[in-house]
């Protein structure tokens, strides 16, 4: 005789869906944080490159 799953089958689906939604939310948050850090790094590097170029050419922007 086979079992239909009963209450175990009914409880498992919402639990798995909740876990997957939480996991996807964490991934989205992490991706946003990485994007922010990359923007900050790029901004810092471009500022250093601009400053270095100004030092080499003798141009100063006040």
Inside any domain, residue 14: no
Q: What pLDDT score does 21 carry?
A: 95
For the chain, the domain total comes to 1
Inside any domain, residue 62: no
Inside any domain, residue 2: no
Low-confidence ranges of the chain (pLDDT < 50): 1
Inside any domain, residue 23: no
Q: pTM of this prediction? A: 0.57
Inter-CA distances, 36 with 2, 25, 39, 59, Å:
53, 17, 5, 31
Q: What pLDDT score does 62 carry?
A: 52
Inside any domain, residue 50: yes
Inside any domain, residue 26: no
What string of DSSP letters covers 33-57?
HHHHHHHHHHHHHHHHHHHHHHHHH
Q: What pLDDT score does 48 carry?
A: 85
**In which domain, by residue range, is 45 found?**
31-57
Inside any domain, residue 40: yes
Inside any domain, residue 17: no
């Amino acid at each position: 005789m086979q079992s239909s799953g009963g209450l175990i089958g009914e409880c498992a689906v919402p639990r798995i869906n909740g876990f997957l939604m939480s996991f996807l939310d964490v991934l989205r948050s992490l991706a946003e944080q990485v994007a922010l850090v990359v923007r900050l790094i790029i901004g810092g590097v471009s500022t250093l490159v601009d400053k270095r170029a100004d030092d080499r050419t003798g141009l100063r922007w006040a």
